[in-house]
């Protein structure tokens, strides 16, 4: 697989999002492990998770533990796999999502994630979502502490706007490695953040790059241009969507979620799909 730059490391151009394997509608553990193993076999070296990817209140970190198990049981060399996790977003267990960006919570969350992942340093740690009750600089400042302490190798932010990205760059003294925002054919309001990341040379990781768990399957029927381009190449509309996102800028590294080996196999093939300028222009204009 072609690679792209994230901080000071190279990762596969298509990553794997772990959330579908741990929330509502999740598959059994064996299928999840098989999905992660399939991704690794195909050259995926960026696996995205979060402590909040779980279903019940008593299983915080379910997805982190799942990924750690998959890496331990995989037959290949996982030393070049970058596991990215996040903290600051919570699931009380009643189906809702809440936030806690306090420094005390983030410091404790990192220690818990280190334990669940079974590592001495987390590859990429991201502040999951801004907390309106906590100054953004205070939350991001913890990432700087963790970098200095060697508990994390790279730092990122998620669900951030351009002003917050610039603030994070300043607070971290230029050490912001990534921004993870929602971006897909159906959700393009993060274009300013993507463009800013391209300008600054910061990796941009689109989450839900196919439109979300419930809508990824009907991407082609919702966006006819993607269906038409896919037919011309003999591939799926989902592959076209990921290839289109890769074409937006060299800093883009989509992290499509998957819960079946077949799904991530199809997604990874997008890294080899080259779209022409006219096709990209057509897809850019599609809404």
- Token pair 């003999």 is at which residue? 234
**Active-site residue among 53, 125, 136, 183?**
53
d(CA 165, CA 172): 10
Among residues 154, 249, 160, 153, which one has the least CA distance to residue 200?
Answer: 249
What does the angle CA 250 – CA 177 – CA 256 come to, to the nearest 5 degrees?
60
- Token pair 């906590």 is at which residue? 134
Q: Does the active-site annotation cover 125? A: no
Q: Which residues are catalytic?
A: 53
């Amino acid at each position: 697989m072609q690679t792209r730059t994230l901080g000071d490391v190279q990762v596969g151009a298509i990553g794997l999002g772990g959330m579908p394997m741990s929330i509502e509608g999740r598959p059994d553990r064996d299928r999840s492990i098989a999905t992660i193993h399939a991704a690794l076999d195909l050259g995926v070296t960026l696996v995205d998770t979060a402590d909040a990817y779980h279903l019940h209140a008593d299983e915080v970190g379910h997805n982190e533990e799942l990924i750690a198990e998959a890496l331990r049981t995989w037959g290949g060399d996982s030393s070049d796999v970058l596991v990215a996790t996040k903290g600051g977003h919570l699931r009380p267990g009643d189906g809702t999502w809440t936030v806690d960006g306090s420094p005390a919570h983030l410091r404790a969350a990192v220690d818990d994630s280190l334990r669940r992942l079974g590592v001495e340093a987390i590859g990429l740690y991201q502040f999951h979502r801004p907390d309106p009750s906590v100054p953004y600089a205070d939350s991001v400042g913890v990432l700087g502490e963790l970098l200095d302490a060697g508990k994390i190798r790279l730092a990122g932010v998620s669900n951030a706007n351009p002003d917050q990205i610039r603030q994070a760059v300043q607070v971290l003294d230029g050490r912001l490695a990534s921004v993870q925002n929602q971006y897909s054919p159906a959700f393009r309001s993060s274009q300013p953040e993507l463009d800013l990341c391209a300008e600054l040379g910061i990796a941009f990781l689109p989450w839900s790059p196919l439109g979300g768990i419930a809508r990824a399957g009907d991407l082609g029927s919702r966006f006819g241009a993607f269906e038409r381009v896919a037919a011309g190449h003999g591939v799926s509309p989902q592959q076209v969507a990921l290839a289109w996102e890769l074409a937006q800028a060299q800093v883009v590294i989509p992290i499509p979620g998957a819960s079946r080996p077949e799904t991530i196999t199809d997604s990874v093939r997008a890294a080899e799909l080259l779209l022409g300028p006219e096709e990209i222009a057509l897809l850019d204009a599609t809404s």
